[in-house]
Structure 1
Amino acid sequence: MDIIECDIEGPLIIESKVFGDERGFFMESWNAAAFAAAGLDISFVQDNHSRSQKGVLRGMHFQQPGPQGKLVRVVAGAVYDVAVDMRRSSSTFGKWVGVELSAKNKRMFWVPQGFAHGFLTLEDDTDFLYKCDAPYAPDTEHSLAYDDPDVGIEWPLAGLEVKLSAKDREGKRLANLEPFS
Protein backbone atom coordinates (compact mmCIF):
# COMPACT_ATOMS: atom_id res chain seq x y z
CA MET A 1 0.00 0.00 0.00
CA ASP A 2 1.03 3.60 -0.52
CA ILE A 3 0.66 6.09 2.33
CA ILE A 4 0.42 9.76 1.41
CA GLU A 5 1.03 12.34 4.13
CA CYS A 6 -1.22 15.39 4.25
CA ASP A 7 -0.41 19.04 4.97
CA ILE A 8 -1.47 18.42 8.57
CA GLU A 9 0.41 15.87 10.68
CA GLY A 10 -1.80 12.88 11.49
CA PRO A 11 -4.33 12.34 8.68
CA LEU A 12 -3.12 10.04 5.91
CA ILE A 13 -4.37 9.06 2.47
CA ILE A 14 -3.99 5.32 1.93
CA GLU A 15 -3.93 3.69 -1.49
CA SER A 16 -4.13 -0.09 -1.40
CA LYS A 17 -2.83 -2.26 -4.19
CA VAL A 18 -5.73 -3.09 -6.51
CA PHE A 19 -5.62 -6.22 -8.64
CA GLY A 20 -8.09 -6.08 -11.50
CA ASP A 21 -9.00 -7.91 -14.67
CA GLU A 22 -12.06 -8.39 -16.87
CA ARG A 23 -13.90 -10.01 -13.93
CA GLY A 24 -13.53 -7.04 -11.59
CA PHE A 25 -10.97 -6.30 -8.88
CA PHE A 26 -9.58 -7.38 -5.52
CA MET A 27 -7.99 -5.24 -2.82
CA GLU A 28 -7.20 -5.53 0.87
CA SER A 29 -8.98 -2.74 2.71
CA TRP A 30 -7.60 -3.76 6.10
CA ASN A 31 -4.69 -5.94 7.15
CA ALA A 32 -3.49 -5.39 10.73
CA ALA A 33 0.06 -6.59 10.05
CA ALA A 34 0.49 -4.46 6.90
CA PHE A 35 -0.88 -1.35 8.59
CA ALA A 36 1.32 -1.93 11.68
CA ALA A 37 4.35 -2.31 9.43
CA ALA A 38 3.45 1.08 7.94
CA GLY A 39 3.35 2.64 11.42
CA LEU A 40 -0.42 2.38 11.93
CA ASP A 41 -0.80 -0.08 14.79
CA ILE A 42 -4.54 0.36 15.29
CA SER A 43 -7.13 -1.78 17.07
CA PHE A 44 -10.61 -1.20 15.70
CA VAL A 45 -13.71 -1.78 17.83
CA GLN A 46 -16.56 -0.71 15.56
CA ASP A 47 -17.46 -0.65 11.85
CA ASN A 48 -20.06 1.78 10.46
CA HIS A 49 -21.80 2.17 7.12
CA SER A 50 -23.84 5.15 5.95
CA ARG A 51 -25.68 5.74 2.68
CA SER A 52 -26.41 9.29 1.55
CA GLN A 53 -27.82 11.12 -1.42
CA LYS A 54 -25.92 13.81 -3.32
CA GLY A 55 -25.47 17.01 -1.31
CA VAL A 56 -25.70 15.46 2.17
CA LEU A 57 -23.10 16.94 4.51
CA ARG A 58 -22.38 14.92 7.64
CA GLY A 59 -20.13 16.52 10.23
CA MET A 60 -17.95 17.97 11.51
CA HIS A 61 -18.05 15.50 14.42
CA PHE A 62 -15.65 14.64 17.21
CA GLN A 63 -15.87 13.03 20.64
CA GLN A 64 -14.35 14.75 23.67
CA PRO A 65 -13.65 12.86 25.91
CA GLY A 66 -13.32 9.45 24.29
CA PRO A 67 -11.99 10.49 20.87
CA GLN A 68 -12.24 8.20 17.87
CA GLY A 69 -9.76 7.54 15.10
CA LYS A 70 -11.46 6.56 11.84
CA LEU A 71 -10.32 4.72 8.73
CA VAL A 72 -12.83 5.80 6.09
CA ARG A 73 -13.57 4.78 2.51
CA VAL A 74 -16.29 4.87 -0.12
CA VAL A 75 -17.56 1.71 -1.85
CA ALA A 76 -20.27 3.33 -4.01
CA GLY A 77 -20.39 6.96 -5.14
CA ALA A 78 -18.05 9.72 -3.98
CA VAL A 79 -17.46 12.15 -1.12
CA TYR A 80 -15.30 15.11 -0.25
CA ASP A 81 -13.90 14.06 3.12
CA VAL A 82 -12.50 16.59 5.63
CA ALA A 83 -10.52 16.44 8.88
CA VAL A 84 -9.99 19.51 11.10
CA ASP A 85 -7.18 19.56 13.66
CA MET A 86 -8.77 20.04 17.10
CA ARG A 87 -5.51 19.62 19.05
CA ARG A 88 -4.77 22.95 20.74
CA SER A 89 -1.09 22.01 21.22
CA SER A 90 -0.66 21.34 17.48
CA SER A 91 0.97 23.87 15.17
CA THR A 92 -1.92 23.18 12.75
CA PHE A 93 -4.74 23.67 15.29
CA GLY A 94 -7.91 24.75 13.47
CA LYS A 95 -6.51 23.86 10.04
CA TRP A 96 -8.21 21.39 7.74
CA VAL A 97 -7.36 18.88 5.03
CA GLY A 98 -9.75 17.47 2.45
CA VAL A 99 -9.61 14.58 0.00
CA GLU A 100 -12.00 13.08 -2.53
CA LEU A 101 -12.80 9.46 -1.80
CA SER A 102 -14.74 7.42 -4.33
CA ALA A 103 -15.57 3.91 -5.40
CA LYS A 104 -13.53 4.67 -8.49
CA ASN A 105 -10.29 5.84 -6.82
CA LYS A 106 -10.58 3.32 -3.93
CA ARG A 107 -8.62 5.61 -1.60
CA MET A 108 -8.92 5.40 2.15
CA PHE A 109 -8.39 8.23 4.62
CA TRP A 110 -7.04 7.84 8.16
CA VAL A 111 -8.48 10.47 10.52
CA PRO A 112 -6.69 10.09 13.87
CA GLN A 113 -8.00 10.94 17.30
CA GLY A 114 -8.00 14.69 17.96
CA PHE A 115 -9.68 15.69 14.69
CA ALA A 116 -13.21 16.71 13.78
CA HIS A 117 -14.41 14.73 10.77
CA GLY A 118 -17.08 15.13 8.14
CA PHE A 119 -17.92 14.58 4.50
CA LEU A 120 -20.04 15.91 1.65
CA THR A 121 -21.58 13.40 -0.75
CA LEU A 122 -20.90 14.17 -4.40
CA GLU A 123 -23.12 11.45 -5.92
CA ASP A 124 -26.46 9.84 -5.13
CA ASP A 125 -26.49 6.51 -3.29
CA THR A 126 -23.01 6.98 -1.83
CA ASP A 127 -21.99 4.23 0.58
CA PHE A 128 -19.42 5.38 3.14
CA LEU A 129 -17.68 2.83 5.39
CA TYR A 130 -15.55 3.56 8.43
CA LYS A 131 -13.71 1.63 11.07
CA CYS A 132 -13.38 3.27 14.50
CA ASP A 133 -10.73 2.70 17.17
CA ALA A 134 -13.12 3.69 20.00
CA PRO A 135 -16.86 3.13 20.44
CA TYR A 136 -19.43 5.75 19.53
CA ALA A 137 -20.37 7.79 22.62
CA PRO A 138 -23.28 10.14 21.80
CA ASP A 139 -23.01 11.88 25.18
CA THR A 140 -19.51 13.13 24.34
CA GLU A 141 -20.06 13.92 20.66
CA HIS A 142 -19.69 17.52 19.48
CA SER A 143 -20.21 19.22 16.13
CA LEU A 144 -17.94 21.87 14.69
CA ALA A 145 -19.86 24.12 12.27
CA TYR A 146 -19.09 22.96 8.74
CA ASP A 147 -19.08 26.60 7.62
CA ASP A 148 -17.10 28.16 10.50
CA PRO A 149 -15.34 31.12 8.83
CA ASP A 150 -12.41 30.81 11.25
CA VAL A 151 -11.70 27.31 9.88
CA GLY A 152 -12.61 28.14 6.28
CA ILE A 153 -13.24 24.68 4.81
CA GLU A 154 -13.50 24.98 1.03
CA TRP A 155 -16.31 22.53 0.35
CA PRO A 156 -17.03 21.78 -3.35
CA LEU A 157 -20.58 23.13 -3.10
CA ALA A 158 -21.06 24.42 -6.67
CA GLY A 159 -24.45 23.28 -7.91
CA LEU A 160 -25.29 21.41 -4.69
CA GLU A 161 -28.15 22.00 -2.30
CA VAL A 162 -26.59 21.10 1.06
CA LYS A 163 -28.68 18.80 3.24
CA LEU A 164 -27.84 18.86 6.97
CA SER A 165 -29.22 17.04 10.00
CA ALA A 166 -30.63 19.12 12.85
CA LYS A 167 -27.52 18.26 14.89
CA ASP A 168 -25.20 19.47 12.14
CA ARG A 169 -27.18 22.69 11.62
CA GLU A 170 -26.41 23.45 15.28
CA GLY A 171 -22.64 22.95 14.94
CA LYS A 172 -20.57 25.42 16.96
CA ARG A 173 -17.71 27.62 15.92
CA LEU A 174 -14.21 26.47 16.86
CA ALA A 175 -13.89 29.37 19.33
CA ASN A 176 -16.91 28.00 21.24
CA LEU A 177 -15.75 24.38 21.52
CA GLU A 178 -13.41 22.68 23.98
CA PRO A 179 -10.55 21.31 21.87
CA PHE A 180 -8.14 18.54 22.75
CA SER A 181 -5.00 19.52 24.65
Structure 2
Amino acid sequence: MWTIDELVQRVSVALAAEYSGAPNGRVRDVPDRRAVRWYATTGLVDRPSAMRGRTALYGQRHLLQLVAVKRRQAEGRTLAEIQAELAGATDTTLAGIARLPDELLETEEPQLEQAVRPRFWAEPAAPVPAPQAEAPKAVALTGVALAGGAVLLVPGAPSAADCADIAAAAQPLLDLLSARGLLTDERDPS
Protein backbone atom coordinates (compact mmCIF):
# COMPACT_ATOMS: atom_id res chain seq x y z
CA MET A 1 0.00 0.00 0.00
CA TRP A 2 1.16 3.50 -0.79
CA THR A 3 0.27 7.00 0.30
CA ILE A 4 -1.03 9.35 -2.36
CA ASP A 5 2.42 10.92 -2.76
CA GLU A 6 4.06 7.50 -3.22
CA LEU A 7 1.36 6.56 -5.72
CA VAL A 8 1.90 9.75 -7.75
CA GLN A 9 5.67 9.09 -7.74
CA ARG A 10 5.11 5.55 -9.09
CA VAL A 11 2.82 6.90 -11.82
CA SER A 12 5.54 9.36 -12.78
CA VAL A 13 8.16 6.59 -13.00
CA ALA A 14 5.77 4.37 -14.99
CA LEU A 15 5.08 7.11 -17.51
CA ALA A 16 8.74 8.04 -17.93
CA ALA A 17 9.04 5.36 -20.62
CA GLU A 18 6.84 5.10 -23.70
CA TYR A 19 4.76 8.16 -22.89
CA SER A 20 4.57 11.22 -25.07
CA GLY A 21 2.09 13.11 -22.90
CA ALA A 22 -1.32 14.42 -23.83
CA PRO A 23 -1.45 15.66 -27.43
CA ASN A 24 -3.49 18.79 -26.75
CA GLY A 25 -1.29 20.18 -23.96
CA ARG A 26 -4.31 20.88 -21.78
CA VAL A 27 -3.86 17.77 -19.65
CA ARG A 28 -1.10 17.23 -17.10
CA ASP A 29 1.40 14.59 -18.07
CA VAL A 30 1.38 13.17 -14.55
CA PRO A 31 -1.61 13.47 -12.22
CA ASP A 32 -1.05 15.36 -9.01
CA ARG A 33 -2.64 14.64 -5.63
CA ARG A 34 -5.66 16.76 -6.45
CA ALA A 35 -6.26 14.95 -9.75
CA VAL A 36 -6.02 11.54 -8.05
CA ARG A 37 -8.63 12.58 -5.49
CA TRP A 38 -10.88 13.99 -8.23
CA TYR A 39 -10.54 10.80 -10.30
CA ALA A 40 -11.59 8.80 -7.23
CA THR A 41 -14.53 11.12 -6.60
CA THR A 42 -15.78 10.79 -10.16
CA GLY A 43 -15.30 7.02 -10.24
CA LEU A 44 -12.52 7.02 -12.84
CA VAL A 45 -10.23 5.48 -10.21
CA ASP A 46 -11.29 3.34 -7.24
CA ARG A 47 -11.56 5.00 -3.85
CA PRO A 48 -8.60 4.43 -1.47
CA SER A 49 -8.22 0.81 -0.38
CA ALA A 50 -7.69 1.62 3.28
CA MET A 51 -7.06 4.39 5.73
CA ARG A 52 -4.26 4.68 8.27
CA GLY A 53 -5.57 7.38 10.55
CA ARG A 54 -6.35 10.24 8.16
CA THR A 55 -3.96 8.98 5.48
CA ALA A 56 -5.51 7.29 2.45
CA LEU A 57 -3.72 4.22 1.17
CA TYR A 58 -3.66 3.06 -2.43
CA GLY A 59 -2.69 -0.24 -4.04
CA GLN A 60 -1.64 -1.80 -7.31
CA ARG A 61 -5.05 -1.43 -8.93
CA HIS A 62 -4.93 2.34 -8.38
CA LEU A 63 -1.51 2.50 -10.04
CA LEU A 64 -2.80 0.48 -13.00
CA GLN A 65 -5.89 2.70 -13.30
CA LEU A 66 -3.97 5.98 -13.19
CA VAL A 67 -1.36 4.90 -15.73
CA ALA A 68 -4.07 3.46 -18.01
CA VAL A 69 -5.98 6.77 -17.81
CA LYS A 70 -2.86 8.75 -18.73
CA ARG A 71 -2.02 6.42 -21.61
CA ARG A 72 -5.55 6.80 -23.00
CA GLN A 73 -5.35 10.59 -22.60
CA ALA A 74 -2.08 10.52 -24.57
CA GLU A 75 -4.08 8.89 -27.37
CA GLY A 76 -6.39 11.92 -27.35
CA ARG A 77 -9.38 10.34 -25.61
CA THR A 78 -11.65 12.31 -23.31
CA LEU A 79 -12.18 11.37 -19.68
CA ALA A 80 -15.75 10.36 -20.48
CA GLU A 81 -14.54 7.95 -23.17
CA ILE A 82 -11.87 6.59 -20.84
CA GLN A 83 -14.33 6.12 -18.02
CA ALA A 84 -16.74 4.28 -20.31
CA GLU A 85 -13.93 1.95 -21.41
CA LEU A 86 -12.30 1.34 -18.03
CA ALA A 87 -15.33 1.19 -15.73
CA GLY A 88 -15.25 -2.25 -14.17
CA ALA A 89 -12.12 -3.28 -16.10
CA THR A 90 -10.19 -6.20 -14.66
CA ASP A 91 -6.64 -5.83 -13.42
CA THR A 92 -5.49 -7.83 -16.45
CA THR A 93 -7.17 -5.39 -18.85
CA LEU A 94 -5.72 -2.41 -16.96
CA ALA A 95 -2.24 -4.00 -16.95
CA GLY A 96 -2.44 -4.45 -20.73
CA ILE A 97 -3.20 -0.77 -21.22
CA ALA A 98 -0.81 0.54 -18.54
CA ARG A 99 2.22 -1.57 -19.58
CA LEU A 100 3.97 -1.17 -16.21
CA PRO A 101 7.39 -2.53 -15.31
CA ASP A 102 7.00 -5.35 -12.75
CA GLU A 103 9.19 -3.61 -10.16
CA LEU A 104 6.63 -0.78 -9.86
CA LEU A 105 3.96 -3.20 -8.71
CA GLU A 106 6.04 -4.45 -5.79
CA THR A 107 5.30 -3.00 -2.39
CA GLU A 108 7.68 -2.56 0.51
CA GLU A 109 5.17 -3.75 3.07
CA PRO A 110 2.59 -6.54 3.02
CA GLN A 111 -0.79 -5.80 1.55
CA LEU A 112 -3.37 -4.80 4.16
CA GLU A 113 -6.70 -6.50 3.98
CA GLN A 114 -9.21 -4.10 2.58
CA ALA A 115 -11.98 -3.39 5.02
CA VAL A 116 -15.17 -3.79 3.09
CA ARG A 117 -17.53 -0.96 3.79
CA PRO A 118 -21.15 -2.00 3.80
CA ARG A 119 -23.17 -0.67 0.88
CA PHE A 120 -26.22 0.24 2.94
CA TRP A 121 -28.00 1.78 -0.04
CA ALA A 122 -27.83 -1.51 -1.95
CA GLU A 123 -29.24 -3.65 0.87
CA PRO A 124 -32.95 -4.49 0.92
CA ALA A 125 -35.01 -2.42 3.28
CA ALA A 126 -35.46 -3.77 6.78
CA PRO A 127 -38.74 -5.60 7.21
CA VAL A 128 -41.54 -3.62 8.75
CA PRO A 129 -42.39 -5.10 12.14
CA ALA A 130 -45.71 -6.90 12.26
CA PRO A 131 -48.46 -5.10 14.13
CA GLN A 132 -48.68 -6.04 17.76
CA ALA A 133 -51.29 -8.62 18.56
CA GLU A 134 -52.68 -6.50 21.35
CA ALA A 135 -53.27 -2.80 20.75
CA PRO A 136 -52.41 -0.46 23.61
CA LYS A 137 -55.37 0.16 25.84
CA ALA A 138 -56.99 3.57 25.58
CA VAL A 139 -57.02 5.58 28.78
CA ALA A 140 -60.15 7.55 29.56
CA LEU A 141 -59.36 11.16 30.37
CA THR A 142 -61.48 13.46 32.48
CA GLY A 143 -61.30 17.24 32.30
CA VAL A 144 -61.04 19.13 35.58
CA ALA A 145 -62.30 22.70 35.09
CA LEU A 146 -60.03 25.36 36.57
CA ALA A 147 -60.36 29.12 36.88
CA GLY A 148 -60.10 31.29 33.77
CA GLY A 149 -61.39 28.59 31.42
CA ALA A 150 -58.37 26.28 31.84
CA VAL A 151 -59.02 22.56 31.81
CA LEU A 152 -56.64 19.94 33.17
CA LEU A 153 -56.95 16.46 31.71
CA VAL A 154 -56.38 13.62 34.16
CA PRO A 155 -56.70 9.86 33.67
CA GLY A 156 -59.63 8.24 35.39
CA ALA A 157 -62.50 9.95 37.21
CA PRO A 158 -61.42 12.21 40.09
CA SER A 159 -63.78 12.78 43.02
CA ALA A 160 -65.03 16.23 44.06
CA ALA A 161 -62.34 16.34 46.77
CA ASP A 162 -59.68 15.44 44.15
CA CYS A 163 -60.91 18.28 41.92
CA ALA A 164 -60.67 20.79 44.82
CA ASP A 165 -57.12 19.66 45.65
CA ILE A 166 -56.11 19.84 41.97
CA ALA A 167 -57.50 23.37 41.69
CA ALA A 168 -55.54 24.48 44.78
CA ALA A 169 -52.31 22.87 43.50
CA ALA A 170 -52.79 24.42 40.05
CA GLN A 171 -53.09 27.99 41.40
CA PRO A 172 -49.41 28.97 40.65
CA LEU A 173 -49.87 27.73 37.08
CA LEU A 174 -53.13 29.65 36.76
CA ASP A 175 -51.41 32.82 38.06
CA LEU A 176 -48.70 32.44 35.39
CA LEU A 177 -51.26 31.84 32.62
CA SER A 178 -53.23 34.85 33.80
CA ALA A 179 -50.14 37.08 33.87
CA ARG A 180 -49.39 36.13 30.28
CA GLY A 181 -52.98 36.65 29.16
CA LEU A 182 -53.52 33.04 28.23
CA LEU A 183 -56.77 32.40 30.08
CA THR A 184 -60.04 32.81 28.16
CA ASP A 185 -61.75 35.27 30.48
CA GLU A 186 -58.70 37.58 30.38
CA ARG A 187 -58.05 37.63 26.63
CA ASP A 188 -58.90 40.61 24.51
CA PRO A 189 -62.01 39.62 22.50
CA SER A 190 -60.87 41.54 19.39
* Higher strand proportion: 1
* Higher helix proportion: 2
In terms of Rg, which structure is larger?
2
> TM-score of the superposition, structure 2-length normalised?
0.23
Return the structure number with greater relative CO, CA threshold 8 A, min gap 6. Answer: 1
> TM-score of the superposition, structure 1-length normalised?
0.24
